[in-house]
Structures are given as structure tokens and as C-alpha cells.
């Protein structure tokens, strides 16, 4: 994405060569090691430490006297060596998940549901290692239903309906978002400001061409196909595995009246590159991070504005 001003890019090295390896047995972390400058040291694991494995990320929650501390390790290239991408106790680490949308601190937000007599009676979201209660609107605009092993949330908006699906694939009681879908109302007035895409947006990729939901608190990651990363909210957003060479696309479908690339450009306050990731900032509370993307890897031809 060329802003037309090369001096907006501030290239610098991350300067970190610390990595970690994990020993995983039966889906659980039983040991982990720090690797720095060729020296391997085993890290201690306390009996209260909690590891959660989610794809190429491992989240460690440690209980301390100051409350829970969360560290997220990522192996984005699949070589078995992990780096820290989030550390709740270290301001020097780029904690991009700490945006306006409360985050689990991991690759994807985690949820729990209290279900009684086939109905969801309470919702909890993992926030900094603790499941916090999320209120359910009692005005009829927010409805939870059970469909097989999935929990389905239906939000009734002014000109349509948003459907979000949650699944607990390993049966441990912790759910993750699977997909979201916007369905406009048949009687919505012409010209109404609302999202345009009606396809289901996935939170995890397949080997095909996917529409990927980009939400605050989630690391949005594509797969092997030509993926479209769909942006619908103003938050701190993080996108992994964006490849223009694979015909990946950024789609802005905010439903807020955004009409052109020129209009989008007018909201950008800073563009910079840290030697690994490309950052677009829209003021203090909104940003888009493209992980591992060089400035030359993306152009405005890879961006579409729908609403």
C-alpha cells in the first residue's frame, strides 16, 4: 500500500533473537525451553500455570501476586521455534491485541457459556487470563440458541441481522468463534448505511479461498487460497499471512459509509515498518498490523472499499 511518501516508513530491526520450544504430549504442554544465542535453558512450570494451544500459538497464563499474567507465543512459520507476540507484563512487546475490544490475550478470543435446559443463561469472555461475565441484552435484540455442538448468537440490528457461531471442538468447555454473517433486512431502505457482504466470514482458514473476519483481539490468519480479509470495526487489528502474491485482499465493509480509497487514505495518521511488520495507524485507537509484510508487498490494487 503506497502512500506516496517514502519517508513514512521507518525501517528498524526488532533486535530480538530469543525463541522458545515446547514439548507437547497428548495435546498438553509438559515442558518448554528458552533458546537464545544457541543456548537452551528449560523454563520452570508452576502447578497453577495454564497453557492453551490454539493452532500455531500457545498462550501461557501465570497466576501471580499481582494477578494473572499472560504470554502468547507464536510459531507463524511452523519451524518449531516460537517467539513472544504478546506479554501483558512487558510494555516493550507489541501487545497489539489490547485494543478497544477486550481480548483473551491469545490468537483468538475464548468464551464460556452456562447452559441450562438447552438455553444459554450466562456468557463469559476470557480477559487477561480470567473469564469475565458478559451481559446479555434483555431487550430481545441479542438471542443465543444451541445448534448441535455450536452456540449461535443472533444480533438484531437496525437494517439486518448478524449471526455469530461458536464451537467447542475439543470438548473442554471453552468456545471460539467459528464464523459471522451479515444478513440485511428485506425491508431495509434503499441506500441504508450497512455492510454489503452477505457471505459467512470465517475465523480460521481452510485450504481454499476464504472470507476471513478481522476483529480486535483476534489474530486473523489466512490459508493456502486467495483469502479476503474483511474489516468491519474500528479497533487495533492484526492480520497474519497476508500475501498479495496469493491474490489475498483487504476488504473494508464497515457499514459506516466509507466510499473510496481516497477517503480511507484521509484517515491514516501514520504508516511505518519495524523491520518485520507493516503498521497503518488511524489515530490512537485504531490500527491495522500486517504481520511479516514489506511495504513493497502490498499496493492499493489489493484493497477494496464496499461500505
Tell me the per-residue pLDDT of 235-256, one tens digit each, with 9 for 90 and over.
Answer: 899 998 899 999 999 999 998 8
Ramachandran sector of residue 303 (left: φ over 0; alpha: ψ -120 to 50; beta: rest): beta
**Sheet strand arrangement including 28-36:** 19-25, 28-36, 39-43
Q: How far is Cα 34 from Cα 31, in angstroms, rounded to an integer?
A: 11
What's the pLDDT tens digit per position in 166-223? 999 888 889 999 999 999 998 877 777 889 999 999 998 888 999 999 998 788 888 8
Average pLDDT of the chain is 84
Those residues whose C-beta lies under 8 Å from the C-beta of residue 128, and which sit 6 or more positions away, are: 67, 68, 70, 88, 105
* 284 — pLDDT class (breaks 50, 70, 90): confident
Rounded to two decimals, the pTM is 0.65
pLDDT for res 65: 61
Helix (H, G, I), strand (E, B) or coil at 230: strand
Q: How far is Cα 45 from Cα 35, in angstroms, rounded to an integer?
A: 16
CA 16 to centroid of chain Cα atoms: 23
What is the radius of gyration, based on Cα positions, of the chain?
20
Q: Is the dihedral of CA 224, 227, 233, 235 positive or negative?
A: positive
Q: Is it the case that residue 10 has pLDDT exceeding 90?
A: no
C-alpha cell at 81: 521455534
Q: How far is Cα 285 from Cα 269, in angstroms, rounded to an integer?
A: 11
Q: Is it the case that residue 299 has pLDDT exceeding 70?
A: yes
Amino acid at each position: 500500500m503506497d502512500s506516496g511518501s517514502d519517508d513514512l516508513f521507518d525501517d528498524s530491526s526488532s533486535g530480538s533473537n530469543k525463541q522458545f520450544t515446547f514439548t507437547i504430549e497428548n495435546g498438553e504442554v509438559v515442558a518448554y525451553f528458552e533458546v537464545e544465542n544457541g543456548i537452551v535453558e528449560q523454563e520452570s512450570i508452576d502447578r497453577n500455570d495454564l497453557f492453551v494451544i490454539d493452532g500455531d500459538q500457545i498462550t501461557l497464563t501465570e497466576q501471580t501476586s499481582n494477578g494473572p499474567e499472560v504470554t502468547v507465543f507464536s510459531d507463524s512459520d511452523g519451524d518449531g521455534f516460537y517467539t513472544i507476540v504478546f506479554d501483558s507484563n512487558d510494555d516493550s512487546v507489541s501487545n497489539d491485541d489490547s485494543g478497544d475490544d477486550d481480548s483473551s490475550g491469545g490468537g483468538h478470543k475464548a468464551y464460556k457459556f452456562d447452559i441450562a435446559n438447552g438455553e444459554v443463561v450466562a456468557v463469559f469472555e476470557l480477559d487477561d487470563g480470567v473469564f469475565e461475565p458478559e451481559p446479555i441484552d434483555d431487550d430481545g435484540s441479542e438471542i443465543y440458541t444451541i445448534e448441535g455442538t455450536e452456540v449461535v448468537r443472533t444480533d438484531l440490528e437496525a437494517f439486518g441481522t448478524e449471526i455469530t457461531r461458536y464451537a467447542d471442538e475439543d470438548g473442554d468447555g471453552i468456545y471460539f468463534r467459528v464464523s459471522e454473517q451479515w444478513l440485511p433486512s428485506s425491508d431495509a431502505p434503499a441506500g441504508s448505511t450497512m455492510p454489503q457482504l452477505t457471505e459467512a466470514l470465517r475465523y480460521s482458514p481452510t485450504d481454499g479461498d476464504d472470507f476471513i473476519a478481522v476483529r480486535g483481539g483476534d489474530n486473523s490468519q489466512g490459508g493456502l487460497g486467495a483469502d479476503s480479509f474483511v474489516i468491519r470495526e474500528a479497533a487495533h487489528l492484526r492480520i497474519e499471512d497476508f500475501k498479495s502474491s496469493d491474490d489475498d485482499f483487504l476488504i473494508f465493509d464497515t457499514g459506516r459509509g466509507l466510499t473510496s480509497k481516497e477517503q480511507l487514505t484521509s484517515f491514516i495518521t501514520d504508516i511505518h515498518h519495524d523491520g518485520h511488520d507493516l503498521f497503518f495507524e488511524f489515530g490512537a485507537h485504531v490500527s491495522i498490523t500486517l504481520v511479516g509484510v514489506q511495504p513493497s508487498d502490498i499496493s492499493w490494487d489489493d484493497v477494496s472499499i464496499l461500505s
